[in-house]
Structure 1
């Protein structure tokens, strides 16, 4: 800021006077700042509304999905024997299941050999592992110990999935153990030999035992065996999902238990509960904003009115339900509370409808055009979708911010001009006062000398 001498000639505190006058001139600028802050608060409030409406829309996903209402649960009377799960293809029923045998990964063990014992050493000597048509050959043309053979099998290029282990017993000798990657007879380890190597070279034999720790009588017993309501079932694995439609059994041990399949109403209850919470979050947020940042804004009433319409307008769907209240989803006032725009669900009413009229409940919620969830979703889309109502009001608010900014720039330019004019005027005043002061001082001096002049003449 340049050094000025305003007020030196007149003795007036010109800078202070101009500062105070400019403070008055700047009052409209402060009002613009306040107006902008108000609009920014509105924009933030619109963002809050969009957030809670988006959460409400997300809560409709489950209510629009027929799978939510067709969800099934499966329970085992003895989870130590097997566990069970069900999907929407399952039919409510019960089955008696006896697990006779679990599926196992095939294990083969050799005789015991000294760690120094070697195998092979002649051209053509080899050991071949085959699993379900995939083979891997260990070249024994150079003699190898069991440890060497183990290392040769446990390589990444072995696509059979067979792994080799060594067990050192009390005698100090080693046993080679081969283990298949997957369970079942089809995934068993098959051995073939070449050159001077033959079955007697290792004397590999199955090590798997049954639940009584008795060696399996045949490799076919590597498969799981069970009976379902007296029907024999044999599978290669212990997770069985192709015996009863929609039901998966995970076998754990031998024994008998009952699996029960029921309609999983808890999935529907959870979906309705999530919707009710999201709906009430919207109502509470709107009520807070209506009494604060958006007081008097018609947007609040419009949203609340549209939400009520979805509840109050009859759903044109097949079935016996036309209103959410018939399923126990109603305003708090209707079910005995205070009507504050929030809702609640009557679990008993909903449960009875799910038990007695499941298809009608599904139709009411999931109909793609007139269902409750679809209508609520469409209404919400009008507000929160790209280019929707909320984007529009935010755009308008941003335009107001831009307009305020332009007004501020124009006002600042005017204030610069006003201050310059004031300084010019006060500088002129200062100069005039200084000139008058000089003249006054001169005249005062001349008048003071008049008595002396007359005295000298006498």
Structure 2
């Protein structure tokens, strides 16, 4: 840091004079700083709009899915026995379900054992090892999962916990644990259903050999469960399933109890209110985008309120800065071609005719229109009564209006095209947060201004150095003159 002492000969406040001179010299730099700030504001506003545009684009995808229009309300007359959920393809109607058997897991419990789970297992069993045994369940074809030579082994270092962990971690559909209170070993299958359909050996779901039986006091005859679920659909169609759930004709049934001889009635109806909520939610978010874009075109420009420089901000209160920048940012995108063309294209999408092959071919027929006030920028309004009537009368036609059918584009397809075009143009102009300045138009302008500001700051440094050199030379000259004058006066009075 340079220490400068000035005005010793002239008494002038040289530093203040030079600072004032430099303020005038810095005016072009301040203008460049303001231009840069304005461009950054434009970039940030474009990105804000693009973020909102992406949310609309994501929602437009959902608006092309049949589930958006075909949510089902499902009721069961015996919810303690059977419940159901509907898919978009589930037909409306009433269905009878009679559950005659539930699917169960197989479970087997040993006799009492004198074993501590964390103690040496072979010692507890009074055996020497290693000892191998067979333990398996069955696959979908009724064949053993473990082959005859695929054995579990108890080594001399094993505890019961070690053995149970190996069995539980194995892909054998068996869970094993020890109840230290009753001193019993419990084995159960990790799935429901009857898989030993060929009657292999004992016909049980958990098959083990004589070695295992002797070691752990376990008998095949103690096994319980391992059954399939059975139900009758509409008094006629009998179904067996290995789980307590089954999907039939797009309806997902779940069984909880038996109601043999007293069928439950499942009813499915289209949830029109849910569909309306989906459409209204989309329209609300779409209108938010239109409102933000339209506002940029209707904001007043305040040319007497340029962006504040950092030096100017130091002289103002926070609230004063906020009010100033509010006016400075107003209208920064007014008249921009990307915004104006996007507003026009988005509005036109809603007037497209769609060949649905049904009752409705234009969106206005189902109560959805752009507002009558052109200054709204193409915001959408909904006649809920008319929309509800359309959903009751021909929901498939409403769906195709939005989503299209086959190679026929729906409203959302046209909207997606416009949003994609808008995205491309904004990215070219304002880039994304991950882009470097060189990758988009406004970034290149910012980069150019940064370069010019850097050059100008170097020039200002040179100018300031020159001013100090000139004023220093003047001080020296005046100091010399003062010394000479003093000498003359001394000589004159001698």
**What is the TM-score of this pair, normalised by structure 2?**
0.71
* More divergent stretch after superposition (15-24 vs 369-378): 15-24
5 Å-filtered alignment, 1:29-428, equals 29-108=29-108, 130-131=137-138, 132-134=142-144, 155-156=167-168, 159-163=171-175, 178-187=187-196, 188-189=204-205, 191=207, 204-205=220-221, 208=224, 222-231=227-236, 232-241=238-247, 244-255=248-259, 256-266=263-273, 268-290=275-297, 291=299, 292=330, 294=332, 296-298=334-336, 299-315=338-354, 318-333=357-372, 339=376, 341-367=378-404, 370-385=409-424, 388-394=425-431, 395-428=440-473
Q: 1:194 to 1:332 in 2, by over 3 A?
A: same
Q: 1:150 to 1:130 in 2, by over 3 A?
A: farther
Q: 1:205 to 1:266 in 2, by over 3 A?
A: farther
**5+ long unaligned stretches in structure 2:** 116-123, 197-203, 300-329, 432-439
Q: 1:135 to 1:115 in 2, by over 3 A?
A: farther
Deviations 1:256-315 (A, max 9, x none): 311122334455334312311221221232245442252524243333222212123444
**Matched length:** 420
Is the Cα–Cα contact under 8 Å of residues 134 and 159 in structure 1 kept in the other structure? no
> Which residue of the partner structure matches residue 215 of structure 1?
none
Q: 1:157 to 1:383 in 2, by over 3 A?
A: closer
Distance 1:446 1:141 in 2: 124
Distance 1:119 1:247 in 2: 56
Distance 2:416 2:490 in 1: 95
Distance 1:119 1:65 in 2: 66
Is the Cα–Cα contact under 8 Å of residues 99 and 225 in structure 1 kept in the other structure? yes
**5+ long unaligned stretches in structure 1:** 210-218, 450-458
Distance 1:167 1:439 in 2: 115
Is the Cα–Cα contact under 8 Å of residues 223 and 236 in structure 1 kept in the other structure? yes
Q: 1:133 to 1:158 in 2, by over 3 A?
A: farther
Q: 1:115 to 1:396 in 2, by over 3 A?
A: closer
Please state which structure has a larger fraction of its residues in strand: 1
Q: CA deviation at 1:35?
A: 2.0
SS in 2 for 1:97: strand
Is the Cα–Cα contact under 8 Å of residues 327 and 350 in structure 1 kept in the other structure? yes
Is the Cα–Cα contact under 8 Å of residues 296 and 334 in structure 2 kept in the other structure? no
Q: 1:403 to 1:78 in 2, by over 3 A?
A: same
Q: 1:120 to 1:205 in 2, by over 3 A?
A: farther
SS in 2 for 1:105: coil
Q: CA deviation at 1:447?
A: 5.1
What CA RMSD, in Å, does the superposition of the two structures yield over aligned residues?
4.1
Q: CA deviation at 1:53?
A: 0.8
> Which residue of the partner structure matches residue 119 of structure 2?
none
Deviations 1:153-176 (A, max 9, x none): 97247654344567799xx8x776
Deviations 1:196-242 (A, max 9, x none): x89xx966425648xxxxxxxxx8xx22222211123222221112x
Deviations 1:10-50 (A, max 9, x none): 33332332222112222222222222222211111111011
Q: 1:158 to 1:46 in 2, by over 3 A?
A: closer
Distance 1:437 1:176 in 2: 114
Q: 1:140 to 1:333 in 2, by over 3 A?
A: closer
SS in 1 for 2:80: coil
Q: CA deviation at 1:428?
A: 3.4
